[in-house]
Chains A and B, each alone.
Chain A
Amino acid sequence: MSDFEIMIDGQTVGASDGETVLTAAIRAGVSIPTLCHDPRLDPAAACRTCLVEVSGSGRLQPACAWKAQADMTVVTENPRIKRHRAVLLSMYLADHALDDEGLPVERPNGNQLREMVIKEGHAFDLVPVAAPRGNREDKNPYVQFNPDACILCARCTRYCDEVEAVSAISLAGRGSATTISTVAERSLLDTSCELCGGCIDVCPTGAMFEGKAPVHAPEAIEKVRSTCNFCGVGCQLDLNVLDGKVIKVTAPPPGTTVNDGNLCVKGRFAYDFVHHDDRLTTPLIRRDDGELHPCSWDEAISAAAAGLLAVKKNHGADALGFISSARCTVEENYLVQKMSRAAFGTNNCHQCAAT
């Protein structure tokens, strides 16, 4: 349901009160470049890539923040906007790590600035500005930061504040020396950071990146949607698979799944077990020789049942206790207590996340 209509590039588009030009444009299939925009965050309009012409304003205005109003006319492509984008991108190139071809470097999570320069072009080459951004050594294995690939769009700091309510990182310094920093440039391990890695997901240029994931061409990756099994919330995650191995976990785009693009430290980073040598892939029974031997599920369940029933028979049901795991679903946890109470007759049941 729209409240009124606006005109974008000659196309009539419905829009609602409070909606931005960008939201209306996306719905209408009009593409406007953005770098600092994230639907979960208040608009910053800092990257300036989404500037468009709107009726009633002589200045170019940011589509990500400018509110749609009845009978507004918006132009997203014309020589002025093209010139603006080309010169702006030339400036970004002077402040970014470049590859041999003079394009913004490839980054582990892709680099949207690179894609934008390839798509929109730039006006001229400039001498790099070598901004004095410093560099923070961080011993944590998960979240790393490369200031040379940072465009200061502040998505990471705004995400950390507005979505996670953690504020472990902030814009620090001023002017060309502005950078992303923890308090007094400490390691993230030494801050309020929960290592959720959301800053990596929101970073458009891969300046925030996962320390342990190998660098790869994004095209080679197959993304397999899965459900995180560390707790019962059921966050959706994308296993990034290369040559049959999970090399990284990313969150599905915001707005598409229950977790809205968010993950916690376990879901995002604790995937090493998947391919670990010590991982159990079959049930084991300890036989008379004292060693664990592989067996079938039927054998394992029978052995467990026999053992539990023997305890109940010799010592009574309350000699038994059942503890289930936070990694089980609600339904599985329900079944464990049912088994405890109804099948074995004891109230000694607990779940590790219930305290």
Chain B
Amino acid sequence: MEKKGSKRQAVLDALTGQGLSREAMARVAELTGVPEADVYGVGTFYTLLAEPGPRVCQGLSCKLAGGDALAEKLEAKGTVHRVSCLGQCDRAPVSLGENNRLDVAGPRGGISPDNPGLVMNLAGEDDPSYPALAWARKMGGEAVIDELEASGLQGRGGAGFPAHIKWRAVRAEAEPTKYVVCNADEGEPGTFKDREIMLRRPQLMLEALAIAAFVTGCEAIYIYVRGEFPEETDALKAALAKGGLEDFEFRFIEGHGAYICGEETALIESIEGRRGMPRLKPPYPTQQGLWGKPTLMNNVETLACVPDILLRGGARFLALGKTEPGTKLYCLSGHVNNPGVYELPLGASLNELVAAGGGFVGTPLAFSPGGASSGVLPMSLADEPLDFKSLAAHGSMLGSAGVVVLNDTVDMAWVAQVQAVFFEDESCGQCAPCRIGARLVRQALDRYLQSGNPDNLEHIEELAWEMTEGSICGLGMVAAEPAVTARRHFSDHFGVRP
């Protein structure tokens, strides 16, 4: 229940850099009018607030590249928090120092060479005249949505939901106050494509947001950038400062260390100043989103495709795809020569992607096609299209297209354990199947790795079944996938470190 006149929205900003002492809570409560215990509940949810300070990545790609040794080295020097994802798999192993700025990191990862035929063309130059916005203004909102529909653009945040349906739904809402939100909370291990768009082509995304606000009649545009990406926020602000979008109100929100806030309704809760716990759906954000108002939320990459679709036509975008519409930014890391972000026709295979990324290191054994959430697949699928439909048919998903390659030097049980740590850490804790299940799975893998006794894994599949059936959101639904798929496909390499 909100107290009259309270400024809940200000809670997270007010908590930044304050610590969680009683005095700090009292100050923030006083400032915002939100009850102290409530402020404390919010603060303890976010790791950048609860445990500020340097962090070292313990995600799969970082561990493959010596993340453990780096962690030990940094720990010898002082306090550093071990975390499961910093969104820099191409630069592994990495650590963040003060103010969440990169401390230790490898050279910047690769990108596709400059090619004006590409949709996002990370190596290209932004056009400061915002031509697609001019096109939208001239042709009108319906024409924009028709073009999106013709393009077949599917949401790039993970679910692949057709973009035009959401745009049309929000445009059709009679409610006068509506919002556009850009989901730049990119936090799925193995994924760092939105990061590259923000750093290299920020105007593409800003322009699309302005178009979205124009088309749907939205009041303000929120950009929610993960807290571990301060440079990306800087880049967006710098691009905005160059001018051209003064008609639109952009508001930046920094995340505070919670992967779950990438889930759209958790992200909305977080903007509103609450614990980032996903809401029940329906209602969907397009109906009741931010502050209960119709809200259009898209992923950075989804947005970055929009200018090209308008300028060169939806039909061209559609035709660029191999098995599904358009091009796609694939993030590549792990056992490959040139980790990075490669823009390929949607439906390119693993082998094609790795060819773009300089080839395999060692003898490839497995790959994870779409971040930790997608589990692991065998190399027999290396020529299958990496798209939404075929990966789903193989019991996996394209998700965020965070592709991690693993060669035959890894123990797949260990891989599953690394991913399980991530999900246990990042579960919001709201619903029992995920809160308890993610911990059960991680502990079972720990015990198995210590003892070699497969009895420890006896109930994993059944737990996974229930997590998928019973969890509120997508995190819990997939949290046991790495364990289940590693067991399903890699009985020869499970618990064996050759």
Instruction: Give the B-binding residues of A (Cβ under 8 A).
Output: 43-48, 51, 59-60, 62, 65, 80, 83-84, 87-88, 90-92, 94-95, 123-124, 126-127, 129, 131, 151-152, 157, 161-162, 165-178, 181-184, 186, 191-192
Contact = CB atoms under 8 A, between A and B. Distances in A.
Please classify the interface of chain B as helix (H, G, I), strand (E, B), loop, or mixed, using the class held by over half of its residues: helix
Contact of B45 (A88, A124, A174): A174
Nearest to B282: A67
B37 interface: yes
A165 B2 CA distance: 9
B469 A92 contact: no
B45 A51 contact: no
Given A48-B431, A184-B22, 10 more contacts: A88-B470, A123-B459, A124-B462, A162-B1, A167-B1, A176-B435, A178-B429, A178-B435, A183-B36, A192-B37
A284 B431 CA distance: 60
Give the size category of B's interface with A: 35 or more
A129 B443 contact: yes
A161 B38 contact: yes
B21 interface: yes
Please classify the interface of chain A as helix (H, G, I), strand (E, B), loop, or mixed, using the class held by over half of its residues: loop
Given A60-B470, A167-B38, A91 B432 contact: yes
Contacts of A178: 429-430, 435
A88 B467 CA distance: 9
Contacts of A43: 280
B429 A174 contact: yes
A167 B29 CA distance: 12
Contacts of A172: 40-41, 44-45
Interface stretch (B367-375, B382-390, B400-408, B420-428): B420-428
A62 B280 contact: yes
Given A170-B38, A183-B40, A186-B22, A176 B472 contact: no
B239 interface: no
A44 B38 CA distance: 17
B459 to A, nearest CB: 6
B309 interface: no
Nearest to A93: B436
B425 A175 contact: yes
Nearest to A165: B1
B463 interface: yes
A184 B22 CA distance: 6
A176 B37 contact: no
B432 A152 contact: yes
Nearest to B35: A167
Contacts of A126: 440, 459
B258 interface: yes
Shortest 8 CB-CB contacts between residues of A and residues of B: A170-B41, A178-B429, A167-B35, A87-B466, A183-B36, A175-B427, A184-B22, A176-B439
Nearest to A95: B436
Contacts of B280: 43, 45, 62, 65
16 contacts: A46-B431, A46-B432, A60-B469, A60-B470, A88-B433, A90-B459, A91-B440, A92-B436, A94-B436, A124-B459, A131-B439, A152-B432, A172-B44, A184-B20, A184-B40, A192-B36
Contacts of B444: 127
Contacts of A168: 35, 37
Contacts of B3: 165
A167 B37 contact: yes
Interface string B40-62: 11001101001000000000000
B215 interface: no
Nearest to A57: B282
A87 B462 contact: yes
Contacts of B471: 48
Nearest to B471: A48
Contact of A174 (B37, B427, B439, B472): B427
Contacts of B425: 175
B80 interface: no
B64 interface: no
A168 B41 CA distance: 11
Given A46-B472, A88-B466, A181 B40 contact: yes
A62 to B, nearest CB: 7
Of the listed residues B50, B428, B466, the one surrounded by the most CB atoms of chain A closer than 10 A to its CB is B466
A177 B429 contact: yes
Contacts of A183: 22, 25, 36-37, 39-40
A131 B438 CA distance: 11
Interface string B435-458: 111111001100100000000001
A87 B458 CA distance: 13
A177 B425 CA distance: 9
Given A91-B440, A129-B440, A182 B435 contact: no
B360 interface: no
B436 A129 contact: yes
Contacts of A161: 1, 38
B275 interface: yes
A184 B21 CA distance: 6
B424 A175 contact: yes
A94 B275 contact: no
Contacts of B465: 83, 87
A176 B280 CA distance: 20
B142 to A, nearest CB: 30
B44 A94 contact: no
Of the listed residues B22, B40, B443, B458, the one surrounded by the most CB atoms of chain A closer than 10 A to its CB is B40
B462 A123 contact: yes
Nearest to B258: A174
A136 to B, nearest CB: 12
A139 B470 CA distance: 38
Given A51-B470, A88-B432, A129 B37 contact: no
Nearest to A49: B432
Contact of B41 (A46, A129, A171): A171
A311 B251 CA distance: 76
Interface string B456-498: 0011001101100111100000000000000000000000000
Given A175-B428, A176-B438, A169 B443 contact: no
Interface in B256-298: 258, 275, 280
Contact of B440 (A45, A46, A94, A166): A94
A162 B2 CA distance: 9
Contacts of B45: 172-174
A173 B276 CA distance: 11
A183 B28 CA distance: 12
Contacts of A129: 436, 439-440, 443
Of the listed residues A51, A87, A94, A191, the one surrounded by the most CB atoms of chain B closer than 10 A to its CB is A87
Contacts of B459: 90, 123-124, 126
